Amino acid sequence: MRKLNTDELNRLSKEDFQSAEKLPIILILDNIRSLSNVGAFFRTADAFRIEALYLCGITACPPHREIHKTALGADETVSWRYFATTVEACQALINEGYRLFAVEQVEGSVPLQDFKFEPQTAYILGNEVDGVSEDALPYCSGAIELPQVGTKHSLNVSVCAGIVMWKAFEQMKLMQK
């Protein structure tokens, strides 16, 4: 076994990434307070070619040194928009025909393994302490929950997002092959 070198990884240039087909989902970052988490969202969104990130409320926006440090440059490739409130982002997406789902532990949530990902859908990931804001939940068609069996029943929001993005990628891209 040997590690692959950079050339063998077939990485896209920034220009090629911009024109490449994207996974047709959007992640809404609902008042994410950690700059490291924001950077991790960008980096993982780049890895799975997510259509865009919508940064809301107190969520920091690029350019920012701390975001860039974690994103490793993905903050320069992944499309993003800023909204003063998560509700504004929800309303904009619904007006464009998107369906919204919270990634949250709520009554009636669907376990991730049973959820069917579809195009033109956005997923709301909430604040590290408070989760998805109460005022955003009425805009959601439903919720996804990641089953957990430990004592915390809580994952870091960027780790949670990575799992959700992988599952969407697996269903929407890998299963098509």
**Mean pLDDT within 160-175:** 94
Does 77 or 174 have the greater pLDDT score?
A: 77
The SS3 assignment for 121 reads strand
Residue 174 is predicted with a pLDDT of 78
pLDDT above 90 covers a percentage of the chain that reads 94
Residue spans of alpha helices (H) in the chain = 14-19, 35-47, 65-71, 86-95, 157-172
pLDDT, one tens digit per residue, over 11-65 is: 999 999 999 999 999 999 999 999 999 999 999 999 999 999 999 999 999 999 9
* Full-model pTM: 0.95
Distance CA 30, CA 83 (A): 10
Residue 7 is predicted with a pLDDT of 86
Strand arrangement, sheet containing 80-83: 80-83, 50-56, 23-30, 121-126, 99-103, 142-145, 110-111
The answer to whether 66 and 39 have CB atoms below 8 angstroms apart is: yes
b/e string for 99-122 if b means 16 or more Cβ within 10 A? bbbbbbeeeebeebeebebeeebb
Q: How confident is the model at residue 177 (pLDDT cuts 50, 70, 90)?
A: low
**Mean pLDDT within 132-136:** 98
Average pLDDT, the chain: 96
Could you give the domains of the chain?
Answer: 20-176 (3.40.1280.10)
Q: How confident is the model at residue 141 (pLDDT cuts 50, 70, 90)?
A: very high
